[in-house]
Amino acid sequence: MIRSLERPLKDRETLMECKNRDFYTVLVQSTKREEERQRIESQQRKDGLVAKSRLIGSDASGIDVIEKPKIHLKGSKVGEGVPIILVPSASQTLITIYNVKEFLEDGVFVPSETKMKGMKVGTTKPDCVTVQKKLSRDRAVAAYEVRDKTVGIKPEDWDRVVAVFVLGKEWQFKDWPFKDHVEIFNKIIGFFVRFEDDSIESAKVVKQWNVKIISISKNKRHQDRAAALEVWNRLEEFMRSRSHT
């Protein structure tokens, strides 16, 4: 009975035959996906070169270097060059020089302690790191210089400081070239990153300042991206508003 229902096959080519069908459309779709993948990888490499050229101030790569942003801060001259973002040097704050890159570039919060433990023996804390905005669909790559100390900032470089992540302590602003908090947060946008379930007391001082409070979850890492995007959106809005003052 079973043998009577069997259909004999001659060779491997016969196996591939299917009446009224072929595999041409499958080949076309596969080819298109491969071409799209190569296009995306090519664009990513190009964006990386553009960002690098921007940072070193050179267009030797043959790619048009993105024009350096000019930020006109109220009451000061136009700041030219790579914008500067300041973070606290204290380890008890959520955003530090150790984890700021992952947070702003990839939209993922990694505790500073975890980053420090993962560093190779003998590795010292970096004086500054370069952060690129990657969380948008813009082709242009905006680069920022992140520092946790103001000692190396020259008087003329303060016009390039566009943002600061605040600790909530007065001493963070010691020796800054501004008379008070009103002037600081009029010229520089401030961010205070906190866990969403922290007590109100942790932000009591900060609420007296003109800063943006960004809340993140202690455990839900998939929500980090939205928090990082809020930082970028508010920062870009701030820079646009200051460029017209």
CATH number at residue 155: 3.40.50.11990
| Structural domain total, the chain | 2
What's the confidence (pLDDT) of residue 13? 57
Claim to verify: residue 145 and residue 38 sit in the same structural domain: no
- What H or E segment, with its residue span, contains residue 3? helix 2-5
d(CA 170, CA 158): 19
**pLDDT tens-digit series, residues 188-207:** 999 999 999 887 776 788 98
Domain termination residue (choose one: 66, 101, 117): 66
Q: Hey, what amino acid is at 226? A: A
Cα 184 to Cα 233: distance, rounded to the nearest angstrom = 20
- What tokens were used for 53? 């050229």
pLDDT at 5 over 70: no
Token pair of 33 as six digits: 């996906």
Domain identity same for 94 and 131: yes
Do residues 44 and 85 both lie within one domain? no
Task: Note the residue count of the chain.
Answer: 245
Residues 49 and 169 in one domain: no
Q: What is the pLDDT of residue 231?
A: 97
- Give the whole-angstrom CA distance, residue 99 versus residue 126: 11
35/155 same-domain check: no
Q: Check whether residue 53 and residue 121 sit in a common domain.
A: no
Domain containing residue 117? 70-243
Average pLDDT, the chain: 78
Q: Provide the sign of the torsion angle of the four alpha carbons 55, 60, 64, 69, taken in this order.
A: positive
Model confidence at 23: pLDDT above 70: no
pLDDT at 138: 59
Q: What is the pLDDT of residues 75-88, one digit of tens each?
A: 343 357 899 999 99
One domain for residues 112 and 225: yes
- Give yes or no: residues 61 and 85 share one domain: no
